[in-house]
A and B are shown apart, each in its own frame.
Chain A
Amino acid sequence: MHFKPKIVLALILVSLFSVSVSQAALEIDRGPIYGLLRKALPFKNLEFAGYLKNETALRISGGFDEFMKEANIAQLETEYKFNDNIQFFSILRWFYDSVFDLENKYDRDPKWESKTNKKVKYPEKLQWLRECYVDVLTERLDLRLGKQQVVWGTADGVRILDIVNPLDYREWTLKDYIDTRIPLWMFNAEGKLLMNGQLQLLLIPDYEPNYYAPSGAPFTLRTVRLGAEAAEKVTTATIDQKPAHDFEHTKIGLRWRNIIEGHAFEYTLNYLHTYDFASSYYLRQPNATANTRRAEQIDVFGGTFSKTITEGVIVPGLAKGWTLRGEFAFIKGGAMNYGKSGAIIPGLGIDGSISGTVDVDQYNYVLGFDKSFFTNWQFSFQFIQMWALNKEKFNKSLYTLLNGATRGPLDKQETILSLMLATDFMHERLKPQILILYGDDNDWRISPKVSYEISDQWLATAGVHIFEGKEIYLNGGQFDKNDQVFLELKYTF
């Protein structure tokens, strides 16, 4: 049965309106779901919260008559306090995206069964346990043991140092990273050495590759699509050589975080010994389509800073109110493919651009500038650069480094600009926001959205994602045909 998206869209809007009318008079209230849970689990030290959410997206070029997402999500967060020092926390999330049922054009490729491909085919069955950990909190040392996500860095919308956890690229990077990071089992200790100075140690025996949407999905990366055309049983989640879950392959992270009092200058120094969550593709022999994929061991050295100008720079008042932030990462030991973008394999008629693999060092950084203007308009601008320097030689007159996500040509230096503007109306109930991402290959992503707080429990969001650029480019081009309008309705308890 094929539901007409326009009808569903109209029903959602009607339900939104009726909800806004009926719920507008609510005072703070946890609602009936919380009431039922509280009755069922009347433990004094147990606290819980959660949400129910619908996410709907329609393709604009399809005349709003084609679903790109019809997901229903339920999340339950529980916290049990044994005492002030020992606490347990978990997040369970169930979701189902019925877009594959509603639209015949999408397909949960690949069609064969294996452990790896089950993850590709049914991520909802394998990502239900979002977080599950025990906190041991003391005055000097905090321990967090279990499945969790660790966030490093200050950048918005790009990952420079925020690479402790792998990422779920099911919807590219349209969702907040908190919803797309794939949590890992780890040991996380943070000790206080100074009043505002903490040293963090991470030991991560767990490993998961990034999740990439299969080749028949709405947001399939170009490299996945090309890979599936070349070799049906290989996806980018297929890694022949990945680290074992043992002590020898344990990932290690260290972070020193401090605020210099008097100046309120905040900085971190970071080190991460880990494995790339994206596989590196190796040809088994020259000029062959047979290949192997390996998770490269990498070392990341980096740092961040942030500083608000509270008095002025040089002259009192100059640049007052600006917050400056930065983030830098040197990634040693990674690998990238090189080849000819757009090259066609004779006889197969597919893009067979990969000609080889070389070791590459990467230098990535972001500088951010934030300020409020005109009373309540938040402005946030980021200048991002990513440098890739090959450590092994290849014939640059014939080949170029390739972008891992698109197999498009990767310049030695890629520059991205981002701008976010946000404000609020109606006593912060109505919040419009626009995010613009621009890549120096003239590819764009423009994402305006507006959210409305119907009541303490109901939140509605509507927006548009517009992509622009050539297919071979990363930020918007590869999804040039994926412009979509989206609606979200969330009930929290």
Chain B
Amino acid sequence: MKKIILWLAAITLIAGYAVAADLSYYEVYKPKAGMTVDEIMQIKYFNKYTLFAHDYESTGDVIFIEKDGSKRNRRFLRQRIMLGRSSDDVSYKDLVMFTQPTSVKGLATLTWNYMKATRDQDVWLWLPSLRKIRKVSAGQADDSFMGGDLTVEEITSRRFTDETYKLAGEEKFKGYTSVYDGKVYHQGEPCYVIECYPKRKPWYYSKRVAYISKNFGGNMLDEIYDANGKFVRTLFRGWVIMNVNGKDYAAQNRVEAYDLRTGHKTVMLFDEIKFDQGLSEDIFTQKTLMRQRW
């Protein structure tokens, strides 16, 4: 029995690190002709979590839009440091602090994300209204992220190893009309159309069709099908290319999720995006959480 347990542990370790080792931190990767669908998706995930940069900062808004058009808003500051440190397995550390409205002001989370694919995040939650830091379990992957029309795994925890992939074709992106401002984004962008199937079954979705930019490897649109195969939701990501110290970084500047069943929409807008400012790892500690007074 003991040998079996050790074998299981060893296989998990090897599998976990093998994925992380494929791409090097702080390098910029773009899809190239002839790449396999797995290679394209690895770049997609690399870009999603900004592993090409040393650090990242942005402010932003999360806007919940009801079917009748009424809105609720959350304003936040986000900071991230990419470490890729095998000594303690830390991939990156993330800090999100809410700044408005008053009812959530000061609420902050510190998240440590690990290189090992099988390892969950460690999350600390600062509750200024209670003056208390709570160690919390990482959200269930299929839970709604902040109550919006996106799931936790779509924003924070989905990894390359969670799905299998099939290249369905290549095309020029038809464009996405924003549910927030009505503008059309990324029209004509050359892209791969990739079908993604979750390994976990049963799961809240049976398939998603992802449109991945050929130019910068960013995932522009997901068309999501529920467990019964019905098309139920869209998830759009808008991108800008930022030249930082001579490198082209692909940065998300908006996320829009639209639930076709309920008509509810969630929009995330990112402003003041900054890379490689030299943020210190010292910022990503409980001390920073506790400095949020309200």
Contacts and interface: CB of A to CB of B under 8 A. Distances in A.
Interface of A: 24-28, 30, 49-51, 77, 79, 89, 135, 137, 139, 142, 149-151, 154, 176-178, 190, 192, 195-196, 198, 257, 259, 261-262, 264, 266, 306-308, 310-311, 314-316, 320-323, 325, 370-373, 375-376, 424, 427-429, 453, 455-457, 459, 492-493
A429 B142 CA distance: 18
Contacts of A314: 5
A310 B291 CA distance: 27
Interface string B279-290: 001100111000
Interface string B58-95: 00010010101111110100000000000111100000
Nearest to A310: B120
A166 to B, nearest CB: 15
A459 B104 CA distance: 12
A452 to B, nearest CB: 12
Contact of A321 (B61, B137, B142, B266): B137
A322 B138 CA distance: 9
A308 B61 CA distance: 29
Contacts of B75: 28
Nearest to B106: A49
28 contacts: A24-B66, A24-B68, A26-B71, A28-B100, A51-B102, A79-B293, A79-B294, A149-B131, A151-B131, A154-B135, A190-B287, A196-B285, A261-B90, A307-B135, A310-B114, A311-B12, A311-B120, A315-B8, A316-B9, A323-B137, A372-B143, A375-B142, A427-B64, A427-B264, A427-B266, A455-B72, A456-B101, A457-B103
B103 A456 contact: yes
A453 B287 CA distance: 30
Nearest to A321: B137
A364 B115 CA distance: 39
Interface string B97-138: 000111101000000101010111111000001111011111
A367 B116 CA distance: 29
Interface stretch (B27-35, B144-152, B182-190): B144-152
B102 to A, nearest CB: 4
Nearest to A27: B71
A198 B287 contact: yes
B119 A311 contact: yes
B294 A424 contact: no
B101 A372 contact: no
Nearest to B13: A316
A264 B87 contact: no
User: Chain A's interface: helix, strand, loop or mixed, by majority?
Assistant: loop
Contacts of B64: 427
B36 interface: no
B198 interface: no
Contacts of A261: 88, 90
A79 B292 CA distance: 11
Contact of A492 (B73, B88, B102, B138): B102
B132 A49 contact: no
Nearest to A311: B119
Given A139-B282, A316-B9, A308 B137 contact: yes
B140 interface: yes
Contacts of B121: 310
B1 to A, nearest CB: 10
Contacts of B148: 427
Contacts of B122: 264, 308, 310
A310 B119 contact: yes
B108 to A, nearest CB: 15
A453 to B, nearest CB: 7
A137 B291 contact: yes
Contact of B129 (A27, A176, A196, A322): A176
A142 B290 CA distance: 11
B72 A453 contact: yes
Contacts of B112: 264
B132 A151 contact: yes
List the 5 closest pairs (A to B, CB-CB), nearest first. A428-B147, A28-B73, A262-B88, A306-B135, A264-B122
B291 A259 contact: no
Q: Which of B9, B87, B131 has the most CB of A within 10 A?
A: B131
